[in-house]
Amino acid sequence: MGDEAESVFQMLLRNGKDWDYVNCDREKLGLVHEDLENQLAFIFSSVVEEFEAENTTIHQIKVQRVKAIFDRRILQDEQRLNTLRRAQRDPRLIHATEVRIEKTKETKMQRIYDLKEKAKVDIEPAEVAAGIFVVEHF
Residues in contact with 123: Cβ distance below 8 Å, sequence separation at least 6, in sequence order: 48, 51
pLDDT digits (tens, 9 = 90+) for 49-77: 999 999 999 999 999 999 999 999 999 99
Are 108 and 67 in contact by the 8 Å Cβ rule? The answer is yes
Residue 66 lies in a domain: yes
Residue 97 lies in a domain: yes
Residue 126 lies in a domain: no
pLDDT at 40: 87
Q: Which domain holds residue 35?
A: 27-119
pLDDT at 80: 97
pLDDT digits (tens, 9 = 90+) for 88-105: 999 999 999 999 999 999
Total count of domains within the chain: 1
For residue 138, pLDDT over 60 is answered with: no
Distance CA 12, CA 69 (A): 54
Residue 20 lies in a domain: no
pLDDT digits (tens, 9 = 90+) for 5-24: 888 888 888 888 877 777 78
Residue 65 lies in a domain: yes
Distance CA 31, CA 24 (A): 13
Question: Taking the complete model, does pTM exceed 0.75, yes or no?
Answer: no
